[in-house]
Structure formats: C-alpha cells, structure tokens
Amino acid sequence: MIPTTPQRVVFFGVTGSGKTTAAERYAAATGLPLTSVDTDIGWLPGWVERDPADQLRMVEEIAARNAWVLDSFYGKWSDSLIPRADAIIALDYPRWLSLFRLVRRTLRRMLTQEEVCNGNTESFRRVIARDSIIRWHFTSFAGKRRRIRAYQDAGLPVVRFTSPKELEQWLRSNEK
C-alpha cells in the first residue's frame, strides 16, 4: 500500500522523462528534502564520477532517514534504496516523448552553456562521446522499462505514469 503522501520517494524512468523536474515539484509541494542524484551524489566537476563506494555510503545515509526525495537512482544502489522507499514514482513514457525532451534539453544546454551539475556543461563533444546522454537513452531505455515492470511485479510501491498529464494530476494532488 502506498501512503497518500509518501515520505521516502524516489523518481525513476528513462533518460529525458522529466524525473528531476517532477522530483523538484514534489519536494516543493510536500516540504520534503530533495537530493539531486547527479549534483549531490554522482558527478564532480569536470564530469568526474564520484567514487562508487562514496556514492553508496551517501545513498545509505539518505535511505536511513525518515523523509527524502531522490530525483533518480543508479542501479548499483537499488538494494540500499528501494527497500526503504514508500513510493517509486515511475515515469514510463513513450520513447519518442522522452527522446524529444532529452534532445531539446541537451541542445538548449549546449547553446546556453547552462550548468548541468557542479559546473559541468553540455558540449557538442559530450553529445557525440561514447558516454553521451543521448546514447545512454538508447542503451538504457528498454532496461529501465523492464525494471519498472519488475518492481510492479515484485509488489513494490510503484506509482506508474505513462503520460505527463497523469503525472501533472498527481503532482497537483500533492500540493499544499
């Protein structure tokens, strides 16, 4: 059973689905503390990934708290995080929609040099790199969708949205 206003919430979905924006809105509406995975845990300046052991330690500390919102999570932490979640907010949108959003966001960030996290910015070089966020979308899409269904099948507290309109209605229902 999922609480009416879950206190330990993780957003999950394909790259470009809008997890961070949704998590920010939920945290603002509920007053719960938000952790941005990329900014606070995953990436250091210069697109250097934080040491995985440090990431796991940080996630375990957050998961032990009574209230939190994470805008995503890395699969390597799922055993430490998912059992503590009151709700997994799954953004399970069609590929065309999440890819469109991702490309639009990436191009905007490239052109404006908007900071992604910790001083890191998008560049043409990053967009065509082996670890490109757009390439990651294609390599991770099917697996993330399978994980959403596996979490549901396992009886975990998944709230699955298949359209932004559904998510918007849910977010509005949580506003104070």
Q: What is the mean pLDDT of residues 134-157?
A: 95
pLDDT at 176 exceeding the cut of 80 = no
Q: What is the mean pLDDT of residues 156-173?
A: 95
* Range 8-173 classified under CATH 3.40.50.300: yes
Q: Which of 108, 101, 107, 60 has the alpha carbon at shortest distance from 84? A: 60
45: exposed, middle or buried (Cβ count in 10 Å: 0-12, 13-18, 19+): exposed
Report pLDDT digits (tens) over 116-131: 999 999 998 888 888 8
Separation of alpha carbons 108 and 50, rounded Å: 26
pLDDT of residue 126: 87
Report pLDDT digits (tens) over 33-76: 999 999 999 999 999 999 999 999 999 999 999 999 999 999 99
Whole-angstrom CA distances from 131 to 42, 57, 125 are 14, 25, 10
pLDDT of residue 1: 62
**Amino acid in position 167:** L
pLDDT of residue 128: 86
